[in-house]
Structure 1
Amino acid sequence: MNHTPPLPTLPPAFQAWFAAKGWAPHPHQLEMLAAARAGRSALLIAPTGGGKTLAGFLASLVELAEDPRAGLHTLYISPLKALAVDIHRNLTAPIEEMGLAVTAETRTGDTPASKRQRQRRKPPHILLTTPESLALLLSYPDAGEIFAGLRCVVVDELHALAGTKRGELLALALARLGTLAPEARRVGLSATVAHPAALEAYLSKTGRAPAEDVTVVRGGEAAQAEVKILLPGGEKDEDRLPWSGHMGLYAIDRIYAAIQAHRTTLVFVNTRAQAELIFQALWHANEDHLPIALHHGSLAAEQRRKVEAVMAKGGLRAVVATSSLDLGIDWAAVDLVLQVGAPKGTSRLLQRIGRANHRLDEPSRALLVPANRFEVLECKAALDAMRAGELDGDPPRPGGLDVLAQHVLGTACAAPFDPADLYAEVITAAPYADLDRESFDAVVEFVRTGGYALKVYDRFQRIRPNADGRLEVADKRVAQSYRMNVGTIVEAVTVKVRMGRGRILGEIEEYFVQWLRPGDTFLFAGRLLTFQAMRENFVDCTPGGEGEPAVPAYMGGKLPLTTQLAHRVRGMLEDSASWPTLPGPVEEWLELQRWRSVLPRADSLLVETFPRADREYLVAYTFAGRNAHQTLGMLLTRRMERMGLGPLGFVATDYVIAVWSVKACEDVDALFDQDMLGDDLEEWMAESSLLKRTFRNVAVIAGLIERKLPGHEKTGRQVTFNADLIYDVLRKHQPDHILLQATQEDAARGLTDIRRLSDLLVGVQGKIVHRRLDRVSPLAVPILLEVGKEQVAGGAIEALMDDFAETLIEEAIGGDMQGSLQI
């Protein structure tokens, strides 16, 4: 017997609107309406093009049409300002076409102050905003009045927020709304969901799953996307598939031809630097003068909005973009997505492919452009995973204490609170569901006094008990400062490179410096420099240095290869039966590797060592992602120093790490012993500036360091200087301070990826396969080319690298086989 309740019937005006459009409501849209009428929250998982947005708003529009009322009815939360504006435009059309007496407005950081003030006095029925603007609204004394009549909160692209600090801030805001507007239901919209139970918990008013108050609705299947790998097809040298590199510039003519052949193309890349290079190369190739634009997060907001507006009108043939356009902007004219460089994850790839067509009945079309031979394997693995319906990504982490501290202060800005009541509310937010009372009280104490080591300073005493024993904001200045600094996005800081007696050579990202230790050499502005110290906002260095320059880590795309995709790539390397499905040059490359050495296996760690040019090289095929490999490189070089091997530097990709030294490592098992995650890790992190820089971000989010102050804004130098002083005080006098705990947790999960590195080292103990070779192996050529790129400076880099590549390839495959293979 079927116990599924019948789907509800739309009101006549809505039926007529659908009919006039030649549409019929999707079953999942009616299921969302049914859940709303039952007063239940709902998670909608539906492919792009399935009408998720209308499904999210449908119940609100019906309720407002059937029972007109004043005041705020529905909050829409978007991870992007641009998406909120786009959704507002799409929502306005049905409201106007049905003649509904419903008002809808956006509220973001770009909204004029006068309009924001009016929205508080007279809110629209539907307000489209961001997590930061919602946190700001909740900090006002009239928050209870603003949200008293709230009936629905719609969170778009929920998967993109859950598991991030912005998502943690939003979860706490939802918990606050649960108190202010207990009748409000919650709606989550998402196309790519790897961990549905986590999102169900996020929407639940209990913060846990399975959630009795959340209905999970699944949309129909979309047409299978048509995705192909774009590979070189000519016999010229420039048409060959590169052995290394991450930009994909070799394929620019084929990328341009694809743009010419389609109406509108989104060209996705992985980094802002890559976006600039691809865009510049396309303009050089643009003989037809096609309108092509650029869009990434470092561009001015006005320029980004201009691109979005022209694109919405169908005025562009292509946009080169980073993740700034990953999420949900509905440009119906887009009929092709190009991903230049490997996607790093199946879920991310699906999200980007979904930007094409926006229709369930038509397949999205996409081309993947691998930048090198390893990336061919990654693209193939991503396609296989996508066709198998496998999504990837880590489940959301527990909430950060720095974000909680910001929320505690924001709550006090609105009204005095009782800590016991606030704790009961906070643990209904999914990221904080398991937060113990002791940790919560420590956070409140930090907001109240700054903690034991800082309580003597009045500036850190931001809340205080009132006559009733409840905690309230200390003064108006604290509340004003909170509202100026709300949010969890901390911009990257640049630092100046200073040589000798104060000559400034230029600026580099602070991240560049985090991995350097005194005495390390590096290249900058065409010079070999020796790093001396990081002082305030300056990198002090001296000219020259001994030996080859060490290779520092770069911020890169901050998108490390997912564990699931890495596993598939390793599986392809191990399964020679799958090689014939790969491009000829890649298959031959793997055959050469099997002939010269062995292939990496999923159940072991292959380490190759070989001499080259008076240096000894160690190459490990670890497949743990770039962040974990950067940490591993630092730990390996420390251990090699103690072994007397004279390490000179290292370089890492998502797949491989290479270290070069004066002497060869003979005891590889000892080198990779997992005990390096103990004292070695602690000593390195204490010596490097990594923890200080991570602490700076934590301190800014927690409100200990204010970026903006009434009347002026602090410089990056001032913020860093203040954070460094406080960090040193806390380490000395209160090492268990909650912000130091938060710093350690962020460092372990983020740039150092210690969890993934730990899993790697534990898993390979007793399973290391060491191959001592007399020359570089074919599989090691790409990583050695990365070494070459790091050490070559100036305008002649391309010619020099071509020569270096030819030399390495000839060494790897040797004259005895070279004539019979396409390399």
Structure 2
Amino acid sequence: MSAVQEAPESRVDAWFDARGMAPFPFQREVWQAFADGKSGLLHAPTGAGKTYALWLGALLRGMRGQSAPGAGLRVLWITPMRALAADTLRALQAPARDLLPAWNGALRSGDTGSAERARQSKSLPQFLVTTPESLSLLLSMADAAERFARLDAVIVDEWHELLGSKRGVQTQLALARLLTWRPQLLVWGLSATIGNLQQAQAWLPGAADGVLIESRSERRIAIDTLIPDEPGRFPWSGQLGLRMLPQVAAEIDASRSTLVFTNTRAQSELWYQALLEARPDWAGLIALHHGSLDRSVRDWVEAGIGDGSLKAVVCTSSLDLGVDFAPVERVLQIGSAKGVARLLQRAGRSGHAPGRSSRVTLVPTNSLELLEAAAAREAVAERAIEPRLPPNKPLDVLVQHLATAALGGGFLPDAMFEEVRRAPAYRDLSRIEWQWALDFLNRGGASLTAYPEYRRVAPDEHGVWRMSDATLARRHRMNIGTIVSEAGVRVQFLQGGAIGTVDESFVARLSPGDRFLFGGRLLEFVRLHDMTAWVRRAQNGRGAAPRWQGIRTPLSPQLGAAMLEQLAEFAAGRADAADAPELAAIAPLLRLQQRWSALPQPGELVVETLKSRDGWHLFLYPFAGRSVHLGLASLLAWRIARQRPATFSIAVNDYGIELVSPDDIDYAALLGDPVAGTAGVAALLSPADLEIDLAASLNAGELAQRRFREVARIAGLLFTGYPGQKKSNRQLQASSSLFFEVFKKHDPGNLLLAQARREVLEQELDLPRLAATLAALQDWRLRLCSPARVTPFGFALMVERYRERLSTEKLADRIARMLRGLEGAAAKTRGA
């Protein structure tokens, strides 16, 4: 039998066999589901073969003739990051060339050149790799329905990454649109490391009623920790930091290839520079990768990972996903990953191939991260993986999508209402909210009717809502997307060559001649012109790394609970040094905390009161994460101040909170008798009236005004500027504030205002988790302690507070003085 006559399944088996592989059972399950015309969700560990499972299922349909013949798009592959798109396309092209050579593939993302875009405008290939933003751009074309007329399948890669963000909502709306045009469309999601798998499937339009297929093989993951020589008894953020450099360099030296993950771009810049200074012979063998570097730089690094020419790459979440890391032997994580799912994702980048084991080594940046490391290993063993909770009904995304649909052939309101409600995020969208969205697009709502630029969409003579103004259409297409960040300033050499982008707020603080680290180079700032920072190479000296705006990832509930369990094991004397070397390393710290105060336990809230020269201190250790603690500290300060006049300074970290007041406060009287349990603290920690009290305590109006800028940009109120004429962050903030004040005064019922307030509470302050924490604390036992001096856990919080008001040099001096006194007291403490 010739290859052409051979059964498609046999050809696929032969393709695997030629590469020394064999299909896994879960891959065959997916292929059969495709053959049966079923949609669904595939859940499998990183590197287990998910891509081949879904892609070969789609190819088999084409090989069997189940997809429409001829030219035109058949398979749409949606990836969450455009950095992954080129690599994904290469991975799909290899089997397509051998098994279905009539199918051509292409890439459509923000990095796609104008010539390729023009080719795609004439005719789309049989398979297209794209991002949610670029898919929305395609949907905005007047002939969009015709472009997708032959579409057979949509595959959403890394759905767990999209699910919890507005980009996931944008994807839902796009899928609802495609399913309206192609009801028989197959929709599949790819997911790994997620704790709410059933919800993930239910929130993927088209896949909710399909099949759920899971890989039955578990990846072997080894988690270990680099133990510092002297962890110390008094930790603070960054306490260890680059002191771990020699051990990190030794680990890199002993491995063929290593990824060194950091949690921030600034941290990656500092570690890359430090490694080069420690090992100058590694120049050209180690590289830096993060999302603010120029695309050409990132492409070079990814190619070096793929061909094995790089010994190590210092990176951020920009390399969490997707790229084939088969050559990578080791993964190091600088600092805590703060969550089990993120740790598993990064661990999976080593041994990134079916059947291989993965290994991740944790590098603590302060002593308490050793406790986090021990807890993370236990949480991974128990598969305590965090859920990704999807946003509900963001109206800014809806308004943007309706403008896109108005450009992409138009829509009839009643039919569109039903279509939008097929996106799970809008399943309970009311007619009142729907009418508000239409009115907002049609005339700018109640307060912008006098301005033609906000009358964006209107019905034609047939009742079809369209956007007919060419200028507004061009502005909308340039504004599509839900990723909103600080205005980026392009960094470029005077002699040509782009390096990447930094936040405008960082560049605004620079003067000509100032030096800074970026892209692994020491640069000298020359001038700022047209949102471009012109620089030259600096010959010597030192410079600071840029600080990019972003929310610090808080400790997850799963990891916080695991840390409390580890503390309970230690307190009970059950911590085995062989099983938990991290706990053995910080035993002096934990014993001192235990002797001077108490160790937090599951179901027990440790509260410390202390008088120092700073004032009267209150420390609590719920281990609920930074976001929850910020809300909790503000709430406590507000409720205490209502009972008696007082002012407070606040400090929070992932483990606890500190309130300090210059006023004499009897915290013990406020909290009640510890023998009586939590009765005395119940009112202060009650979830009753939470939203009202929290909004008052945090000046939520000011926070909402800042948040409104993001909402306004997504909804199309703010235009960021044409290429080469981008508006500055100051201009955008001024415009946003003007809209906010106009709506508040003339249109107080504007639903975008309500959304901004809700997002501040739910996302920045994690209101649902704060409410759950307060409800749980009602059942916890209160352990009230009055130590004579600040404890190890409290010391970390005091340093956080000082950090806000002291320079780096002054902070270092203050820490040194405090440590001398505390270490002297600890040495005198028997058994410490």
Q: Find the partner of 2:328 among 331, 334, 337.
A: 334
Distance in 2, matches of 1:423 and 1:178, equals: 14
Deviates more, 1:383-392 or 1:69-78: 383-392
Contact 1:334 1:357 in 2 (8 A): yes
The answer to whether structure 1 residue 264 and structure 2 residue 257 are counterparts is yes
Change (3 A) 1:768 1:462: farther
- 1:361-394 Cα shifts (integer Å, max 9, x gaps): 2211110112223222222121111112221134
Deviation at 1:221, TM superposition (A): 1.2
The answer to whether structure 1 residue 571 and structure 2 residue 565 are counterparts is yes
Secondary structure of the residue aligned to 1:40 is coil
Name 1:436's counterpart in structure 2: 430
Deviation at 1:558, TM superposition (A): 2.5
Distance in 2, matches of 1:731 and 1:815, equals: 61
Distance in 2, matches of 1:348 and 1:584, equals: 25
Change (3 A) 1:645 1:671: farther
The answer to whether structure 1 residue 363 and structure 2 residue 357 are counterparts is yes
Deviation at 1:556, TM superposition (A): 6.4
Name 1:21's counterpart in structure 2: 19
Distance in 2, matches of 1:50 and 1:163, equals: 23
The answer to whether structure 1 residue 142 and structure 2 residue 137 are counterparts is no
Change (3 A) 1:557 1:57: same
Contact 1:412 1:463 in 2 (8 A): yes
Name 2:789's counterpart in structure 1: 775
Change (3 A) 1:241 1:113: farther
Name 1:694's counterpart in structure 2: 707
The answer to whether structure 1 residue 45 and structure 2 residue 31 are counterparts is no
Q: In the alignment, residue 119 of structure 2 is paired with which amino acid?
A: R
Change (3 A) 1:456 1:600: same
Deviation at 1:631, TM superposition (A): 3.0
- 1:170-210 Cα shifts (integer Å, max 9, x gaps): 110000000122222011112212111122213343x8xxx
1:497-516 map, 5 Å: 508=505
Change (3 A) 1:725 1:556: closer
Distance in 1, matches of 2:306 and 2:734, equals: 44
Contact 2:234 2:795 in 1 (8 A): no
Change (3 A) 1:773 1:799: closer
Contact 2:194 2:388 in 1 (8 A): no
Name 1:615's counterpart in structure 2: 615
Name 1:166's counterpart in structure 2: 167
Secondary structure of the residue aligned to 1:128 is strand
Deviation at 1:279, TM superposition (A): 1.7
Secondary structure of the residue aligned to 1:689 is helix
Distance in 2, matches of 1:618 and 1:387, equals: 35
Q: Find the partner of 1:759 among 742, 754, 772.
A: 772
Q: How many residues align?
A: 753
- 1:62-110 Cα shifts (integer Å, max 9, x gaps): 2333445211010000001121111111222223344722211111111
Contact 1:242 1:372 in 2 (8 A): no
Name 1:154's counterpart in structure 2: 155
Distance in 2, matches of 1:300 and 1:431, equals: 34
The answer to whether structure 1 residue 491 and structure 2 residue 485 are counterparts is yes
Change (3 A) 1:420 1:691: same
Deviation at 1:621, TM superposition (A): 0.7
- 1:16-71 Cα shifts (integer Å, max 9, x gaps): 22221122111122111111111111211112222111111102222333445211
The answer to whether structure 1 residue 390 and structure 2 residue 384 are counterparts is yes
Contact 1:109 1:133 in 2 (8 A): yes
Distance in 2, matches of 1:311 and 1:799, equals: 42
Distance in 2, matches of 1:17 and 1:687, equals: 59
Name 2:211's counterpart in structure 1: 215
Contact 2:59 2:100 in 1 (8 A): no
Deviates more, 1:475-484 or 1:287-296: 287-296
Name 2:186's counterpart in structure 1: 185
Change (3 A) 1:281 1:393: farther
> Where does the alignment leave 5 or more consecutive residues of structure 1 unmatched?
1-7, 496-505, 513-524, 526-552
Contact 1:241 1:585 in 2 (8 A): no
Distance in 1, matches of 2:84 and 2:467, equals: 34
RMSD over equivalenced CA pairs, Å: 2.8
Q: In the alignment, residue 51 of structure 2 is paired with which amino acid?
A: T
Q: In the alignment, residue 618 of structure 2 is paired with which amino acid?
A: L
Distance in 2, matches of 1:136 and 1:145, equals: 15
Distance in 1, matches of 2:137 and 2:504, equals: 34
Change (3 A) 1:478 1:16: same
Structure 1 length-normalised TM: 0.86
Q: Find the partner of 2:276 among 276, 280, 283.
A: 283
Deviation at 1:230, TM superposition (A): 1.5
Q: In the alignment, residue 217 of structure 2 is paired with which amino acid?
A: E
Q: Find the partner of 2:267 among 241, 263, 274.
A: 274
Deviates more, 1:368-377 or 1:643-652: 643-652
Distance in 2, matches of 1:63 and 1:99, equals: 10
Change (3 A) 1:567 1:39: same
Contact 1:271 1:557 in 2 (8 A): no
Distance in 2, matches of 1:314 and 1:130, equals: 28
Name 2:76's counterpart in structure 1: 75
Distance in 2, matches of 1:441 and 1:41, equals: 33
Name 1:744's counterpart in structure 2: 757
Name 1:655's counterpart in structure 2: 655
Q: In the alignment, residue 411 of structure 1 is paired with which amino acid?
A: A
Deviation at 1:747, TM superposition (A): 0.8
Distance in 1, matches of 2:474 and 2:199, equals: 35
Deviates more, 1:127-136 or 1:456-465: 456-465
Structure 2 length-normalised TM: 0.85
Deviation at 1:692, TM superposition (A): 1.0
Contact 1:41 1:215 in 2 (8 A): yes
1:614-633 map, 5 Å: 614-633=614-633
1:103-142 map, 5 Å: 103-142=104-143
**Identity of aligned pairs, percent?**
37
Contact 1:42 1:216 in 2 (8 A): yes
Deviation at 1:315, TM superposition (A): 1.7
- 1:439-492 Cα shifts (integer Å, max 9, x gaps): 222222212222112223222111112212232215222211110100000112
Distance in 2, matches of 1:509 and 1:723, equals: 21
Distance in 1, matches of 2:702 and 2:506, equals: 13
Distance in 1, matches of 2:823 and 2:650, equals: 20
Distance in 2, matches of 1:373 and 1:465, equals: 63
Distance in 2, matches of 1:693 and 1:446, equals: 21
Change (3 A) 1:686 1:460: farther
Name 2:799's counterpart in structure 1: 785
1:301-380 map, 5 Å: 301-380=295-374
Distance in 1, matches of 2:814 and 2:28, equals: 63
Distance in 2, matches of 1:684 and 1:705, equals: 30
Name 1:226's counterpart in structure 2: 222
Q: In the alignment, residue 753 of structure 1 is paired with which amino acid?
A: D
Deviation at 1:686, TM superposition (A): 4.3
Contact 1:231 1:241 in 2 (8 A): no
Deviates more, 1:362-371 or 1:303-312: 303-312
Name 1:409's counterpart in structure 2: 403
Deviation at 1:796, TM superposition (A): 6.7
Q: In the alignment, residue 201 of structure 1 is paired with which amino acid?
A: A
Name 1:529's counterpart in structure 2: none
Distance in 2, matches of 1:792 and 1:178, equals: 57
Q: In the alignment, residue 259 of structure 1 is paired with which amino acid?
A: I
Deviates more, 1:386-395 or 1:25-34: 386-395
Secondary structure of the residue aligned to 2:237 is coil
Q: Find the partner of 2:718 among 683, 686, 705.
A: 705
Distance in 2, matches of 1:134 and 1:117, equals: 16
Deviation at 1:719, TM superposition (A): 1.4
Secondary structure of the residue aligned to 1:11 is helix
Q: In the alignment, residue 586 of structure 2 is paired with which amino acid?
A: V
Change (3 A) 1:747 1:788: closer
Q: Find the partner of 1:458 among 452, 457, 476.
A: 452
Q: In the alignment, residue 244 of structure 2 is paired with which amino acid?
A: A
Change (3 A) 1:304 1:623: same
- 1:387-430 Cα shifts (integer Å, max 9, x gaps): 12221134323131111111111111112311110111111112
Deviation at 1:258, TM superposition (A): 0.7
1:539-688 map, 5 Å: 558-575=552-569, 576-577=571-572, 578-580=574-576, 581=580, 582-639=582-639, 646-647=646-647, 649-666=649-666, 667-668=670-671, 669=681, 672=685, 674=687, 677-686=690-699
Secondary structure of the residue aligned to 2:586 is helix
